Structure 1
């Protein structure tokens, strides 16, 4: 089974296909993604999603009735659930929808997203699944109605039940893959069937487009001026964004606080300078906003796992290793 080429959109191309697996590539100016789809049962597919990009416009227009369950393993995805309202799927979260409103912009605040989609072609899947494991009470229509009856996507917070089902799908041996997929599809459906509707209260909040745009503008300001430290009060006043709402929205979009986000960003920028330049550590510390070398070294160690000098030496050793290996292979 594979999606009609026109339904996927012009930025999606078919890379390869065999009896059980189809691989698609998504190309955007900000990066690329790969989607690897497996046919589990007639009308049921499992899709591995691996994206390395900032944003992607989806033109996916399915010509069949769908129910899709998305699990985020790593990264973060911004989803416009209805016009000008956004939710965020983060590591461990589960999201369910019918793909009727899938033509929209998707953003990846951390510039990458990895996860799995389990999809059902409703008409075909409802005919097949009851006969695969007779006696197993799986009512696909009932499950979709319970979580997506209002046609809005539903996001479930990360939890042990979801983690148990999906964690092994990322490491299953190739020779067991298809048999394992079949078992996991039923395990997922039974889990959702048994889940109390009251637990939907854990659904993530949404944020308005105006809020999201302000948060992204804050990030652009901060990352373009690494030498400057802005207080939360300054940012709140500059962007006319109430302090509490600003902090909540920033964490909703990026999954962490402004301080933690910028600390990691600064240290990754410093790591790149240590790799690519011969600048001394004090100069690099100043360029990323640290006048005190000791505080910079402590911050770098907390993010990168080693002090700046050790990091630079490790990069040099790695370069030497690859140069030597290339020399040996050339002989």
Structure 2
């Protein structure tokens, strides 16, 4: 049987404005009006979180406040196992998205309270700007003196239901529990670093089209014929006369570096995307980026002469026939010393 086609998706694809990319994902974005959750790219594209941890972070963020998000509760709701869920929660806790703390209620019960923050890096930056003289904790309770100016952190509690309180004359206020200390994984968790530049960042200028030292009539003729004949080998590389004139210096620079016309044609048309929407830009890019270096000359391929240190030859002493090194024949050092002593004594 044939694979069923989604005609609605195909129709929406044809209605997208502008040219579509030749490869990669194509987004069809439909604005939600109800039942949606806003997920930031700092979480969706976090380089330190696994896909499983990101998926559970999105699921926890989409649950209403007060929903139990413990390991057993998530395992009963979703198909993943408890070990996989526990590992994902540990990742979220290490990177500051999740905090689990044991809290004592006024009636004496001890429960585990789960707090989820959808953008912990923004929360940390806000705290540093509000109190730069205080040390920045990696994990701690959300209630702070500057809570009015901080983003709202929704505690999604997994606490047990509290029984009805008995009437007491004067309830004694219990102090807040001490802040839990940061675990080694939380203390050593690296801050979020953006790997991609923001969309508003200025793009580096493109390198110019290469040009020959001298555009001779012969180089211009061969380059024009090569560019005009590209459509014989690949119809998608049909260039206009104006584009051919602009690209002639780039082909001439290749020819000046002893590149064969067949090599240039093969480089420009091989492994091209389907289809080539902008052949002029594509050919210009390849002429610029794939420009080969000049061929080395005979002088460049000649190895440098080996540097040899002068070696003093061996000589035979005329007096004692001992071998010694000297540039010319004669007596060795001992015989010369003995002759000098005899001459001095005489």
TM-score category (smaller protein): under 0.3
Q: Judging by fraction of residues, say which structure has more helix.
A: 1
Which structure is richer in relative contact order (CA contacts within 8 A, separation 6 or more)?
1
TM-score, L = length of structure 2: 0.20
Q: Judging by fraction of residues, say which structure has more strand.
A: 1
TM-score, L = length of structure 1: 0.21
Q: Flag the structure with larger Rg.
A: 2
